[in-house]
Chains A and B, each alone.
Chain A
Amino acid sequence: MHNGQRFWRASALLVTASLAFAACGSDANEEGVGATGEGGAATKTVKIGVIAPLSGELSALGQGIRNGVDLAIKQANDSGKVKGWRIELAAEDDTAKADVGAQVATKLSSDSQVAAVVGTLNSSVAEQVAPILNRASVVMVSPANTNVALTGRDKLPNQQRVYNTYFRVATTDDVQGPFAANYASNELKAKTAVIIHDKKTYGQGLSEAFKGQFEKNGGRVLGTETINPGDKDFTAVLTRIKPLNAEMIYYGGEYPEASLLASQAKQQGINVPIMGGDGMYSGAFFETAKEAGVGTLVTSVGAPTESLSSARDFVDAYKKANYSQPYEAYGAYAYDAAKVIIEALSKTLTETSELNTATRQKLVEETGKVNIDGATGKVSFDRFGDTQTKVLTMYKAETKAGKQEWVAAKTDEFK
């Protein structure tokens, strides 16, 4: 007892003393910090956020987005694109979940240096993130959301923009699906098709858009099947559709399942072409599909990389920057999204201005007016914040010198 009391008193004394000690220290500035930083001339900092899945299943795509933005920022800082300002990256992980997305959106929007955000990957996450960023007047440019409803274009007849700060450089389902349907009817001369999709927002939306246009063109959809993302064995589904003898299969989904589907279809003796969207347009498709993937058709936004010098520049710069992960399907879009933001920033911020309500408002306006040549082609927005680029390319899988690759079959503007 006695001992305890002594301890108690002594400890109270010591803790107080040490806390006082700690508090006494001067909170002075550290030499080297502030005034010059390491960029040299830059004085003020503005941040571009990224909200994407950086961990978990979709991290490959998310890391590609992060790196794309990082590359654009580095280039802008090196060339001093926004005079008097240094741009920083603030990447946050949404784990592809809507509620986590909302949390990091709140985090970024309460950081007074964040002017804009590139993201998200998933449309479902964007539905959470967009309203939060909109309320805080933070510009959001998505490299990958394809769900039409996000910009409000689907609300016929009185179409109305939903979130004023929301933009996207990705082409929506209602452009890509019909483009594919027209190709199927006009070039493949297909009259019948079977649709398979993965029941995700992206896959289902794309499939429905394809179906609408295909039927308008006089084609018939003989059946619609769904598969579970993550499944590996699609033989049961393929056995079921085989006797329908459709002239083609449209698949709404991403390449991991698509490549398995292509490979197992060949094994089951189904030899009709499989067609899909940009979620399938990846070199990784062939790693699994191999020669079974030959003949597969995919749509993707913009003209082929070979025909655009800006795209080649992006690929070269990305390689040179030595990122540990590839840029994947959306790296180039993310790069463009960041370039859009940087372009708007350069029009908004000057050496004397601050990041405040007025400049944020101006940034939103300037983003809407941006018109640049990006890695994926021309980038500009319509009054909904959707990209005006409706140039799409149909790619076909072919074997060249023993290796499978995507070869551009037709590039056209969708009207």
Chain B
Amino acid sequence: MIVSRVATSTSERLQATFTRPVRLAVGGAGSLLVVAGCLLPWATFFFGFPGKVTLAGFPGGSRLYPLLLVAVAPLLLVAVEGRRRAGLAAAWGVFGITAFNIAAIGFGRDLPLGLLEERGGGGLGAVAIGAWLALAGGALLIAAFASLPSSDEERPFRPGLPAALELLTIALSLGLILFAVVIALEVDETSRFISLIAFATAAGMTLARLNVFAYVTELFDRHRTVTLAAAAIAAVVFPFTQGGNAYWIRVFASIGVFAAAAIGLNVVVGLAGLLDLGYIAFFGVGAYVGALFAGAARTTVHVKLPFLVVVVMGAVIAAIFGVIIGAPTLRLRGDYLAIVTLGFGEIFRILAFNFDWLTRGPNGISGVPDLAIGSYNFGATNEVLGFSLPGFANYYFVELILLAAIILAFTRLNDSRIGRAWIAIREDETAAAAMGINTYRLKMLAFGIGAFMAGAAGTVNAHVTTQVSPDSYGFLESILLLAAVVLGGMGTIGGALLGSAALFIVPEKLRSFQDKRLLLFGIALIVIIRFRPEGIVANRRRKAELHDADPSTGDASGAPPGAPVVGAVAQ
């Protein structure tokens, strides 16, 4: 509190003293200092710090990020005044990244919590002139932007491009996303990864405050087909960017399976509003069916069926389980349903653990063979257009097809009468029943469809992981799936995709933190939900409910405690 008051008064004083020419001069000097600083060495001698930071004339490693951020800074000052908040985000980004790297170069793993693996290099003496210049430049930029008047903040971003250029923008945006993903996946060293996260946050905030995101989202909405096609192309192109390396393709295939299941859960939780804490069990049923009937080395059922038959079978069996579980429990309301589904999830895991004759107990079913269609083996490496594709890319593509099918089903359901009925139930079950909706049957349908999707995803997963064991289907996995849906944004496809990607990639990228990764993951969950309670990709209506100040409910602390704004029951 005190800090922010001081900051306000400081910026007031800055606004009073900095006239426009002074501001431009300070900002310009700051930008130049950052550019110069990033091209000069950041470390005085080499001691294994990543990113070639001792070289001059080359912005390697973390030095690239302030440079990219500063690219927009002078422009914000000169071309469009009044973008104070956006400019501040970029300026603080420059300052923060530089300050962090100074600390990392100087002290390395002596920093608190032992977060960094990099060696520290003899204190601040190891920090070269470039870093200090960039730091000073960042400080000047902060001052320059802080001196801007704080009015005129919410200008919409509408470049008013011709239609052709709009399409190009879509393609470029998606291309940029793919490019960013590929680059981000390459970054391995802890210090660079932290710098990258800081950069992404600063750049994201700058763009969001310029309302660029709103514009791009609106473009996506207006040209839906093009966007979908472009997204599909980006997804198909991804394996070709990996230079024959299977690791990230494998991770992305896992994300695909996870996302397919998350979309299924989205039907249950996001659309119909049924809190399911044992959802992973349906995924597990599918996986066991997939492994048992695929001719796995250690199957207990010596029947081998074609892949497509197995997928349908897994999905149907999972759906039957869904209906069996749903029948007695779906008459329960809200949180009671949650604990009952938790119970069923645990029962599934324990039975899979103990029915050795079918599931081989804790050993699980292993040695699921590679898929083969005719004489074509899915495990084989391919050469396509001169690119080497590891065998795993095949599964990645199978995954994409499954995902596309599930996304299609979800959108159709969402737009249908059934989908609207679900939302009605979610918002107010009593009112929905009064309107003549058979709530019990529709809830059952949601449960069954969700289970069906999870089952299908599970059978594919058996091939992706080549092994199925009860440990993979516990309470924690259910919770993670739910976290993917809620974190991404309930009821949206983008949310489920982004949520599962985040929950998979973030821990993978946090690998360089070794022991501390779960700790950081926990913090990340808390922080993200704190600032985006509606999820990263928000359902538009929900976002409006949350962020538009409503005078009748007052501020946050004055709201009825716990009374859920969404799904609040009959008033």
Binding site for B on A (CB under 8 A): 1, 3-8, 10-11, 14-15, 17-18, 21-22, 25-28, 30-33, 38, 54-56, 59, 63, 91-93, 97-99, 102-103, 106-107, 109-110, 123-124, 127-128, 131, 147, 199-201, 204, 226
Residues of A within 8 A of B75 (CB): 7, 10-11, 14
Q: Is the CB of A30 within 8 A of B250?
A: no
Cβ of B46 within 8 Å of any chain A Cβ, yes or no, is yes
Closest CB in chain B relative to A70 CB, distance in Å: 12
Residues of B within 8 A of A8 (CB): 159, 161
Closest CB in chain A relative to B6 CB, distance in Å: 32
17 A-B residue contacts at CB 8 Å? A7-B75, A8-B159, A10-B79, A30-B46, A55-B517, A55-B518, A56-B518, A59-B515, A63-B515, A97-B471, A102-B465, A103-B247, A106-B250, A110-B246, A124-B471, A127-B467, A226-B354
The listed residue (B54, B71, B392) touching A18 by CB distance below 8 A is: B71
B328-377 with Cβ < 8 A to chain A: 353-354, 361-364, 366-367
B34-74 with Cβ < 8 A to chain A: 35, 39, 45-46, 48, 52, 54-55, 57-60, 64, 67-68, 70-72, 74
Residues of A within 8 A of B353 (CB): 199
Residues of B within 8 A of A21 (CB): 35, 59, 67
Q: Is the CB of A103 within 8 A of B251?
A: yes
Interface centre among A8, A102, A200 (most CB of B within 10 A): A8
Q: A18-B67, A25-B58, A30-B52 are in contact. Are A127 and B366 (CB under 8 A)?
A: yes
Q: A8-B159, A55-B514, A99-B465 are in contact. Are A199 and B250 (CB under 8 A)?
A: no
The 3 closest A-B pairs by CB, nearest first: A25-B58, A32-B46, A18-B71
The listed residue (A22, A97, A200) touching B64 by CB distance below 8 A is: A22
The listed residue (A6, A17, A28) touching B71 by CB distance below 8 A is: A17
Closest CB in chain A relative to B449 CB, distance in Å: 26
Residues of A within 8 A of B60 (CB): 25, 27
Q: Is the CB of A30 within 8 A of B55?
A: yes
Q: A11-B75, A99-B254, A106-B392 are in contact. Are A26 and B57 (CB under 8 A)?
A: yes
Residues of A within 8 A of B254 (CB): 99, 103
Residues of A within 8 A of B246 (CB): 106, 109-110
Cβ of B542 within 8 Å of any chain A Cβ, yes or no, is no
Residues of A within 8 A of B48 (CB): 38
A/B pair count, beta carbons within 8 Å: 141
Complex Cα distance, B187 from A272, in Å, reads 57
Cβ of B382 within 8 Å of any chain A Cβ, yes or no, is no
Binding site for A on B (CB under 8 A): 35, 39, 45-46, 48, 52, 54-55, 57-60, 64, 67-68, 70-72, 74-75, 78-80, 155, 157-161, 244-247, 250-251, 254, 353-354, 361-364, 366-367, 390, 392, 464-467, 469, 471-472, 508, 511, 514-515, 517-518
Q: A25-B59, A55-B517 are in contact. Are A1 and B158 (CB under 8 A)?
A: yes
Complex Cα distance, B464 from A124, in Å, reads 16
Residues of B within 8 A of A22 (CB): 59, 64, 67-68
Q: Is the CB of A6 within 8 A of B158?
A: no
* Closest residue of A by beta carbon distance from B465: A99
Residues of B within 8 A of A128 (CB): 366, 465-467
* Closest residue of B by beta carbon distance from A202: B362
Closest CB in chain B relative to A162 CB, distance in Å: 9
Complex Cα distance, B39 from A272, in Å, reads 74
Q: Is the CB of A6 within 8 A of B80?
A: yes
Q: Is the CB of B363 within 8 A of A201?
A: yes
Residues of A within 8 A of B467 (CB): 98-99, 102, 124, 127-128
Closest CB in chain B relative to A99 CB, distance in Å: 4
Complex Cα distance, B367 from A201, in Å, reads 16
Residues of A within 8 A of B364 (CB): 98, 124, 127
Residues of A within 8 A of B157 (CB): 4, 7
Q: Is the CB of A91 within 8 A of B247?
A: no
Complex Cα distance, B517 from A28, in Å, reads 33
Complex Cα distance, B58 from A356, in Å, reads 34
Interface centre among B72, B247, B464, B472 (most CB of A within 10 A): B247
Complex Cα distance, B68 from A124, in Å, reads 46
Residues of B within 8 A of A38 (CB): 48
* Closest residue of B by beta carbon distance from A109: B246
Complex Cα distance, B221 from A254, in Å, reads 56
Closest CB in chain B relative to A4 CB, distance in Å: 5
Q: A98-B472, A199-B354 are in contact. Are A103 and B71 (CB under 8 A)?
A: no
Q: Is the CB of A30 within 8 A of B54?
A: yes
Closest CB in chain A relative to B456 CB, distance in Å: 18
Residues of B within 8 A of A6 (CB): 79-80
Q: Is the CB of A97 within 8 A of B57?
A: no
Closest CB in chain B relative to A155 CB, distance in Å: 10
Complex Cα distance, B511 from A59, in Å, reads 14
* Closest residue of A by beta carbon distance from B247: A107
Residues of B within 8 A of A32 (CB): 45-46, 54
Closest CB in chain A relative to B53 CB, distance in Å: 8
Q: A98-B465, A128-B466 are in contact. Are A4 and B159 (CB under 8 A)?
A: yes
Residues of B within 8 A of A54 (CB): 514-515
Closest CB in chain B relative to A57 CB, distance in Å: 11
Residues of B within 8 A of A127 (CB): 364, 366-367, 467
Q: Is the CB of A204 within 8 A of B46?
A: no
Residues of B within 8 A of A7 (CB): 75, 79-80, 157, 159
Closest CB in chain B relative to A312 CB, distance in Å: 29
Closest CB in chain A relative to B381 CB, distance in Å: 10
* Closest residue of B by beta carbon distance from A1: B160
Q: A22-B59, A97-B471 are in contact. Are A124 and B362 (CB under 8 A)?
A: yes
Q: A1-B158, A22-B64, A110-B245 are in contact. Are A103 and B250 (CB under 8 A)?
A: yes
Complex Cα distance, B392 from A62, in Å, reads 28
Complex Cα distance, B44 from A30, in Å, reads 12
Complex Cα distance, B56 from A28, in Å, reads 10
* Closest residue of A by beta carbon distance from B80: A7
Complex Cα distance, B366 from A30, in Å, reads 47
Q: Is the CB of A91 within 8 A of B514?
A: yes
* Additional pairs, 15, CB under 8 Å, beyond known A11-B79, A102-B465, A124-B471: A7-B159, A15-B71, A32-B46, A55-B515, A56-B518, A97-B471, A102-B467, A103-B250, A106-B392, A110-B245, A123-B363, A124-B364, A127-B367, A128-B467, A199-B361
Complex Cα distance, B251 from A413, in Å, reads 45
Q: A54-B514, A91-B514 are in contact. Are A204 and B366 (CB under 8 A)?
A: no
Complex Cα distance, B470 from A204, in Å, reads 15
Residues of A within 8 A of B517 (CB): 55, 93
Complex Cα distance, B292 from A18, in Å, reads 56
Q: Is the CB of A99 within 8 A of B362?
A: no
Residues of A within 8 A of B80 (CB): 3, 6-7
Complex Cα distance, B299 from A249, in Å, reads 33
Q: Is the CB of A124 within 8 A of B511?
A: no
Complex Cα distance, B511 from A128, in Å, reads 20
Q: Is the CB of A93 within 8 A of B514?
A: yes
Complex Cα distance, B514 from A92, in Å, reads 8
Closest CB in chain B relative to A125 CB, distance in Å: 9
Q: Is the CB of B58 within 8 A of A28?
A: yes
Complex Cα distance, B70 from A127, in Å, reads 50
Q: Is the CB of B466 within 8 A of A11?
A: no
Interface centre among A22, A27, A28 (most CB of B within 10 A): A22
Q: A7-B159, A103-B254 are in contact. Are A14 and B362 (CB under 8 A)?
A: no
Residues of A within 8 A of B78 (CB): 10
Residues of B within 8 A of A92 (CB): 511
Residues of A within 8 A of B508 (CB): 103
Residues of A within 8 A of B79 (CB): 6-7, 10-11
Closest CB in chain B relative to A172 CB, distance in Å: 14
Residues of B within 8 A of A110 (CB): 244-247, 390
Complex Cα distance, B71 from A98, in Å, reads 45
* Closest residue of B by beta carbon distance from A127: B366
Residues of A within 8 A of B39 (CB): 25
The listed residue (A3, A31, A93, A226) touching B54 by CB distance below 8 A is: A31
Closest CB in chain B relative to A41 CB, distance in Å: 18
